[in-house]
Structure 1
């Protein structure tokens, strides 16, 4: 996507998002809106500013207000983002998300001490339901974050972070 104009960037990223969310129409709508707002945000001129106010404002109002998805337009997000169910997703705008990343419902990507100490999620990462990734950490390429996991340290490439274990004990009967 280097040296592409905003229109071409929109087309390539939206095509990847569309393929990644083929069976999820709600995710496709949200990501189309998101990419459109990003396009108008990076285009210069008075018409682009007006379009960003309309597209970006309606995106923010609807997705945050009605859908519970806080994915700011200013966030750097690679192509092929997969949203699964989409409810309760909170992403700090300073977070960076790579290509082909999956975010499930209830995921939080946030800061710890300042507005800029946010996670970097590399390509091909899957983040489970209710997981929290907080602080200036890097989640390595291909890593898997389990449901309800809390991550506050770097995760190496290809690693798996398990959620708090559920212990099952046999009955004494």
Structure 2
């Protein structure tokens, strides 16, 4: 019989994985520590948790969205070991779900298509190239690779590679 982790235990577990995954990227570690802290206080109960969430979550949103160009909402379900590379221009719809060990590079967009909640499900180990866009209620399978500037609007099987439309070179 397993017991559910408390918000504090979950924070420690996912933060350790994020820290390890971003060992050489101090900006990414900074953003993800703040993100996980805001998630921790959002998951807590009681007036202290609510107050701390307002302070931590509000400052996180103001700085990361307003100044850093990283739109990764605290309400987004994100697995441990998220890797952020360069971070600028990342846009994630709050209804998107991101698995463990996923890499997001600059300019990546995970968004809805028609309804506010028809968003992508990104499974574990997926890597996104610069400027990749995934739109709509699609699933990107485990260990798939989405190339730079690729636009995805259909399901991607596990282990597949999606290349950008301009990657075909003809002489």
TM-score, structure 1 as length reference? 0.96
Q: Which residue of 2 aligns with 1:35?
A: 36
| Structure 1 residues 57-109: Cα deviation after superposition (integer angstroms, max 9, x where no partner) | 00000000000000000000000000000000000000000000000000000
Q: Distance in 1 between matches of 2:125 and 2:103?
A: 8
State the Cα deviation string for residues 119-149 of structure 1 (Å, max 9, x = none): 0000000011000000000000000000000
- State the partner residue of 1:56: 57
Q: Which runs of structure 2 are paired with 1:17-166 in the superposition (5 Å)?
A: 17-166=18-167
SS in 2 for 1:100: coil
Q: When the two structures are aligned, how many residues end up with a matched partner?
A: 169
Q: Structure 2: 5+ residue runs without aligned partners?
A: none
Aligned residue for 2:115, secondary structure, equals coil
Do the aligned partners of residues 48 and 89 (structure 1) sit closer, same or farther apart at CA in structure 2, a change above 3 Å counting? Answer: same
SS at match of 1:133: strand
Once residues 98 and 49 of structure 2 are traced to their aligned partners in structure 1, the CA distance between those partners, rounded to angstroms, is 25
Report the CA distance between 1:24 and its aligned residue: 0.2
Runs (4+) of structure 1 exceeding 4 A deviation are: none
Deviation at 1:2, TM superposition (A): 6.4
Q: Distance in 2 between matches of 1:154 and 1:168?
A: 27
Give the Cα–Cα distance (whole angstroms) in 2 for the partners of residues 52 and 30 of structure 1: 16
Aligned-pair distance for 1:165?
A: 2.6
CA distance in 2, matches of 1:163, 1:84: 19
Q: Distance in 1 between matches of 2:142 and 2:18?
A: 18
SS of residue in 2 equivalent to 1:165:
helix
Relative to 1, partners in 2 of residues 1:33 and 1:111: Cα closer, same or farther, differing over 3 Å?
Answer: same
Q: Gapped runs of 5+ residues in structure 1?
A: none
